Structure 1
Amino acid sequence: MPRPIRVAIVGAGPAGIYAADALIKSDAAQDPGVSIDLFERMPAPFGLIRYGVAPDHPRIKGIITALHQVLDKPQVRLFGNVDYPNDITLDELHRFYDAVIFATGAMTDRALDIPGNGLDGSFGAADFVSWYDGHPDVPRTWPLDAEKVAVLGVGNVALDVARILAKTAEELLPTEIPPNVHEGLERNKAREVHVFGRRGPAQAKFSPMELRELDHSPNIEVIVNPEDIDYDEGSIATRRNNKQAHMVASTLEKWAIRDPGTRPHKLYLHFFESPTEIIGEDGRVKALRTERTELDGTGNVRATGSFTDWDVQAVYRAVGYYSDELPKLPFDVGSGTVPNEAGRVLAADSDHQTSVYVTGWIKRGPVGLIGHTKGDANETVACLLDDHTTGRLPGAADPEPEAVNSFLEERGIGFTTWDGWYQLDAQERALGSAQGRERVKYVEREDMLRHSGVIR
């Protein structure tokens, strides 16, 4: 009788869990069956949902409910607090599994090559997101002494960063933010937040709902310069063919023509301003220099030679995420992805790397919304199962499920489990309930391990 297909998935965020779901729903799940182990370097699962989504977005965090149902399946096990490749290597994974899927996502900032990046007060948005989301591997404090702040980028991460900086700590207290984050935000001096995009309203990458949410705060006055509302033929075509782009542009137009309000914190959305330099004084950010751009007829922009220096004391670069290179896998430095064909990893000779696959942002780059990773997962899993059916998977040498447990225990790796997540979840909810909140996150890794039952 054939045994189940053994699959390791490295990364227990949405991409990895969607891949597990695709395997469970496949024909192979019926015959010969599938056995799936998810390896996650954090003690808790859910990846980007837990450590990349702003705490005041419970609607997006509701995706966890669907992911939870997948991890509840008997075919799936979770090994948290296990780091690839330090705790387990690719060769070792091949020993225990017929196939390995990497779903490691992207958690660092894409570089923005302008002078002044290294000044005090110049930050990567991803680092700030990790701080306010209570990531255990980042510092517990954040410098929030700037009264005027610039955010570079016109995507949803830029909006999240700008909104968190512009809101009051009291507004954010009902969310799951940890105590150290609330205390830090209480000392936040920001009163003006300026968001900069080098192109126009039709090219902004905001989602309509995220954009509109900026205006819901009683403390944030959103301001758009009427001179920044401009379209060329390419922009008009974008609005005509892209409903979301049209909705975003329409919202910006309404804000541009309304009278200024009296809310205490000002959030400016600037378009046609391309950052060229972060200006410093005594090693600290003093200003941001931008060059005015103009539309060229195609929806793209060209430089005008007109520069403006903006009085800001901090700059947050939100120009995209970037994936970490994975040992034993090829890596495209330009795109920050593992070269692949429909999820099959391509070796240096352009042939497929046997039994190794990718899905999510490490596969296609950090673009699109969380739900888009479902299509990635389905495509990757289809390739994996085709390779299994056609005999291209060599098979694991030691496929018994308990062999992995023994291996990790022998190495002294304190791994968390799905049952452990239930324990941690209950503790965080109890902590929140005592304060009239849904949840309060634990930040320290040791606390997470203790409440997951790893440390006694």
Structure 2
Amino acid sequence: MLRVAVIGSGPSGCYTAQSLVQQDPQVRVDVLDRLPCPYGLVRYGVAPDHEKIKSLQNSLRTVLEHERVRFLGGVPVGAGGVPVARLRELYHAVVYCVGAAADRRLGIPGEDLPGSWSATEFVSWYSAHPDAPGFPAPRHGRGGAPTDGGFLHGVRSAVVIGVGNVAVDVTRMLARGVTELSPTDMPHAALTALAASEVTDIHMVGRRGPSQARFTTKELRELGTLPDTGIVADPAELALDPAYPDPSALPAPQRRNIEVLRGWAGAPAADARRLIRLRFFLRPVELIARAGRVGAVRFERTVPDGRGGVAGTGRFEDVEAQLVLRSVGYRGVPLEGLPFDAADGTVPHLAGRVLREGAVAPGEYVAGWIKRGPTGVIGTNRPCAKETVASLLEDAPALVARDLAGDPPAALRAEGIEPVEWAGWRAIERAEAELGASLGRSVVKLPDWESLLAAARSAGA
């Protein structure tokens, strides 16, 4: 019987487990995750108001409830957790689906000023990720939930650097009202802070033009439907893009984006509480401090260089901002015990088989972003996982010849790690439903390690 560990319970990990049990009628799969909760970025990365995408959790749940799949949460791997070598003693094969956890930085002066954050940190806050930045909470609202502003305290103008879907998400969340967000599973502290937000201006800025923007048209259009929010785009900036006058030669997604932007260009600003300004051909060069925190972003005007990139013009513009969120991409991070290609932030592999010093490492595999880099959408993980599983099952006759060290949960407990099994996760779900009911809402996510683990432990009480 083939016994496999899948490290990571996001889409790539669940699709890997699904493909394994579909293709091998005897394989047993343990899906391990550092967090006590499954679903990865579907739970902690998809915006709470995107309920259709978040409903993918139902499909992932089906995988994790399969009779030959076992969820083991709260199990760190690598530094400070289970060594990679120990996993190889417990399983015939290990598939690493650990994503790309690090944000790319701007590399400009002032980037570490208070008020400057990665978009991922902001997303983690409003998604109740237990590793999200914490803030003092001098005031408390109903149910004891902290109500301080956190990211938004004293913020009137925000700048989002980047023009991908994550940038659109955080821009939209900055403009959302409590009426739209209250039915979601957003943690109560974040909901209260966003409801009290004094943000009136949100600038989403790209260093290149609209034809190079990475957002999808559906996400872009959504910005124009937000209540009490106007949206403007500068026709002069849009016109700097060579494809803007005639986008017919562009791929359909980019062509549709330009059509949407053309409808907003030059339109009079709506009489609304908030205004979203879409800016292009501006490269951030410095975050300017005022009163000990971010006060403005200095941009250099860029122009197309004729090769798909941009060149600086030496002309600068300062945009007021008390909050700066960078959304300029992700990188994989090394996992202790695994080889790592620092140039592209991935684990070297051959069709999913991990390579150590150019040779295939028996029983070690990768799937998802740590395999291919941070590219594609959620569905891209399906064929990626299938390729890796095909390699693993091809190797299976040799892998199962090796004796294993015993039952993994028992071995983990012997080493001081108490896995959160499926019953513990279901207890977390019940606690979140109870929290929501106490707040007059639907399900509300528990926002910290202590409350998550306490809820999980209640399953055995």
TM-score of the superposed pair, with normalisation by structure 1: 0.92
Structure 2: runs of 5+ lacking an equivalent: 136-149
Q: CA deviation at 1:410?
A: 1.8
CA distance in 1, matches of 2:49, 2:157: 22
Q: How many residues align?
A: 444
Q: Tell me which of 313, 318, 336 is aligned to 2:345.
A: 336
Change (3 A) 1:98 1:235: farther
Which residue of the partner structure matches residue 406 of structure 1?
410
CA distance in 1, matches of 2:371, 2:247: 27
Does structure 1 retain, via aligned residues, the 8 Å contact 2:4–2:27? yes
Which residue of the partner structure matches residue 359 of structure 2?
351
AA aligned to 2:339 is: P
Q: CA deviation at 1:378?
A: 0.8
Which residue of the partner structure matches residue 139 of structure 1?
133
Instruction: Determine if the alignment matches structure 1 residue 315 to structure 2 residue 329.
Output: no
Which residue of the partner structure matches residue 417 of structure 1?
421
Task: Encode CA deviations 1:373-422: one digit per residue, 9 max, x unaligned.
Answer: 11211111111112224x3x37543265xx11211222332211123222
AA aligned to 1:63 is: L
Structure-to-structure mapping, 1:33-52, within 5 angstroms:
33-52=26-45
Does structure 2 retain, via aligned residues, the 8 Å contact 1:97–1:395? no
Q: CA deviation at 1:199?
A: 0.8
User: Aligned residues: percent identity?
Assistant: 40
Does structure 2 retain, via aligned residues, the 8 Å contact 1:201–1:230? no
AA aligned to 2:278 is: L
AA aligned to 1:280 is: A
CA distance in 2, matches of 1:388, 1:238: 51
Which residue of the partner structure matches residue 99 of structure 1?
93
Q: CA deviation at 1:233?
A: 6.0
Change (3 A) 1:369 1:436: farther
Change (3 A) 1:394 1:91: farther
Which residue of the partner structure matches residue 209 of structure 1?
218
Which residue of the partner structure matches residue 292 of structure 1?
301
Instruction: Determine if the alignment matches structure 1 residue 442 to structure 2 residue 446.
Output: yes
Task: Encode CA deviations 1:424-447: one digit per residue, 9 max, x unaligned.
Answer: 223323433555644111112232
Q: Tell me which of 245, 248, 251 is aligned to 2:257.
A: 248
Which residue of the partner structure matches residue 403 of structure 2?
397
Change (3 A) 1:449 1:124: same
Q: CA deviation at 1:114?
A: 1.1
Report the RMSD for the aligned CA atoms in angstroms: 2.1
Structure 1: runs of 5+ lacking an equivalent: none
SS of residue in 2 equivalent to 1:216: coil
Task: Encode CA deviations 1:8-52: one digit per residue, 9 max, x unaligned.
Answer: 0111111100111111222xx13xx21100111111100101111
Q: CA deviation at 1:341?
A: 2.1
TM-score of the superposed pair, with normalisation by structure 2: 0.91
Bigger mean CA deviation after superposition, 91-100 or 409-418: 409-418
Which residue of the partner structure matches residue 110 of structure 1?
104
Which residue of the partner structure matches residue 82 of structure 2?
88
Which residue of the partner structure matches residue 76 of structure 1?
69
AA aligned to 2:120 is: A
Q: Tell me which of 90, 107, 128 is aligned to 2:122.
A: 128
CA distance in 2, matches of 1:170, 1:322: 35
Q: Tell me which of 228, 233, 243 is aligned to 2:237.
A: 228
CA distance in 1, matches of 2:151, 2:309: 36
SS of residue in 2 equivalent to 1:446: helix
AA aligned to 1:404 is: P
SS of residue in 2 equivalent to 1:278: strand
Which residue of the partner structure matches residue 274 of structure 1?
283
Change (3 A) 1:330 1:101: same
Does structure 2 retain, via aligned residues, the 8 Å contact 1:428–1:440? yes
Instruction: Determine if the alignment matches structure 1 residue 366 to structure 2 residue 374.
Output: yes
Q: Tell me which of 19, 28, 35 is aligned to 1:22.
A: 19
SS of residue in 2 equivalent to 1:218: coil
Bigger mean CA deviation after superposition, 170-179 or 114-123: 170-179
CA distance in 1, matches of 2:274, 2:222: 15
CA distance in 2, matches of 1:314, 1:395: 57
Instruction: Determine if the alignment matches structure 1 residue 199 to structure 2 residue 192.
Output: no
Does structure 2 retain, via aligned residues, the 8 Å contact 1:224–1:252? yes
Task: Encode CA deviations 1:282-319: one digit per residue, 9 max, x unaligned.
Answer: 53212111111122334332222221111222211111
CA distance in 2, matches of 1:423, 1:251: 45
Task: Encode CA deviations 1:99-156: one digit per residue, 9 max, x unaligned.
Answer: 1001111233112211111111111111111111101123343231221111111111
Instruction: Determine if the alignment matches structure 1 residue 12 to structure 2 residue 9.
Output: yes
Change (3 A) 1:239 1:41: farther
Does structure 1 retain, via aligned residues, the 8 Å contact 2:12–2:382? yes
